[in-house]
Every structure is written in structure tokens, then in C-alpha cells.
Amino acid sequence: MVIAITSVSVIYNTIAIQAVLILLAVLLNLIINPSKHKIERVYHRVKLLSRIIFTLMIFQVLFRTGGEVIWQWKFLQISEVGLQYGVSSSLRLLLIVLVAGMLFDIPYYDYLLAFRAWKFPYEISFLVATVIHFIPIFGRQFQRSREALFLRGIELGKLPIIKRFKAYTSLLFPVVARAISEVRYRAISLELRAFRLYPTRTYLYLQKLNWYDWIVQVGVVGIFVFCILLF
């Protein structure tokens, strides 16, 4: 689903298509494992990145030229191409945030199960799943640092912009170091379990994709091909 949605978003860079895909991503977030906590997480992600997305849109609209000029003041201008590209690109970034939320909520073992069903090598499957789950680890470490500062009476959201930027920069390196340290312990645990020692892997409980899993995957591929041929 994520591959199909993001591919259509890149192929058709229009405001209407991006808006439809965002509505589809919101519906999928609400349908797949619906819960109040999940809705709050999606809202929190969008809220955190909405300012960055809006700022990027303003810069693209004002400084990207081309097409008919709608408004101009000195060196600043809003053109037809700039408005189209700025809004559509910002909507695509919002779409990426929404579909990434679906990936982060999938359990780690389900990634390995799906990749094995697609005949991916186990090493590649493990690396991809680990990279995807590294981002939530980084987020948790950053949240702990913010909570530690809050307990000391420092609230980052109320700091001036310059001081806030310096505070986030100061937090970045310790958070990355702690996240990498946690990944290091995971690597040690894999070595203790003889990861890649033997060419074949055995399972205590071998699980396979169900019939409805294949129906969903084939259906998504069919809809994607239909959208490509239709437009």
C-alpha cells in the first residue's frame, strides 16, 4: 500500500491527486488497527512537522518562478508554477508523514514474515526492518531528553527561536549516541544467537501469509496498474 501510494504521488504531481492520496492515507490509518491512541499519534506527528512543511511551501511559492505571475512585490512573486509546485510538494510531504505512520505501527516480526513471503534474503529483510524501527527508537530517546529538561524547568516549546535551535542542536548528538548504543547491544545479542552462522534459518513456529494477505497485495498492485493506465 505504501509503495503504491507514494509511487502515484511521485508520478502525478498535482494538487488534486495529492489531496485524494492524503484522504486515502488518513482512512487507512483509521482502518488498520484503529484506536484512540493511534489517532493521537498520527495527529502528533502531523502537528510536529506541519510548521516545517508550511515554511517549505512558503519558500517554494515565493521563490519558484514560471508560468503566469499572480502577485509580485520587488523580488518576491507568486507564479502559477510556483503555487502549483509549492502546494503539491507540501502535500506530498504530509502524505509521507501519514504513510510512514502506518509503517512504524507494524510489528517487527511482521516485516520479516512479509519479506520472507516475497523471497527476500533474510539478511536484507533484517536490515530493512531494523532501519525502519530505528526511527521510533530515536524518537523515544529524544522524548526522554525533552522530559528530563522539562523536569528541570526547561520547556523547549516556550524558548525563543534562536535558543530553541541551539537547544535542539545540543540534544541531537547525545540522543543519536544513545540510539546507536542501543543498536550496538542489539548487534551483540544477534551475535550471541549465532546470526548468519548457518546458511539456512529454522523457526520454532513457522508462519505464512494468509489468503486475505495475498488478496490485499494483488488487489493493491491491480489498482496501482489501473491508475497508471487510466491517467
Poorest-pLDDT segment among 89-98, 182-191, 214-223? 182-191
Residue 137 has pLDDT above 80, yes or no: no
CA distance readout (Å), 201 to 141, 198, 204 = 32, 7, 10
- Of 30-34, 90-94, 126-130, 153-157, give the range with the top mean pLDDT: 90-94
pLDDT score, position 231:
67
- pLDDT greater than 80 at residue 18: yes
170: helix, coil or strand? helix
Share of the chain above pLDDT 90, in %: 0
Q: What is the pLDDT of residue 35?
A: 67
Span of 47-61, 88-102, 194-208 with lowest mean pLDDT: 194-208
Confidence of residue 87 (pLDDT cuts 50, 70, 90): confident
Helix (H, G, I), strand (E, B), or coil: what is residue 71?
A: strand
pLDDT of res. 176: 75
- pLDDT value of residue 33: 66
**CA nearest 163: which of 155, 174, 151?**
155
Distances (CA, A) of 59 to 16, 33, 67, 102, 116: 21, 37, 17, 29, 44
Domains of the chain by residue range: 1-105, 107-214
Going by DSSP bridges, is the β-strand pair 76-79/69-73 parallel, antiparallel, or unpaired?
Answer: antiparallel
Mean pLDDT value of segment 173-192:
76
Going by the DSSP 8-state scheme, the letter that residue 77 receives in this structure is E
Residue 203 pLDDT more than 80?
Answer: no
Per-residue model confidence as pLDDT tens digits over 33-43: 666 666 777 77
Q: Residue 29: which residues within 8 A CB-CB, separation 6 or more? A: 38, 39, 42, 98, 101, 102
Contact (Cβ atoms closer than 8 angstroms) between residue 185 and residue 193: no
Question: Cell numbers at residue 127, please?
Answer: 536490515
Angstrom distances, CA of residue 216 to CA of 20, 107, 171, 213: 20, 18, 42, 5
The reported pTM is: 0.69
Question: Does the structure show a pLDDT above 80 at 221?
Answer: yes
- Locate 199 and state its grid cell: 546458511
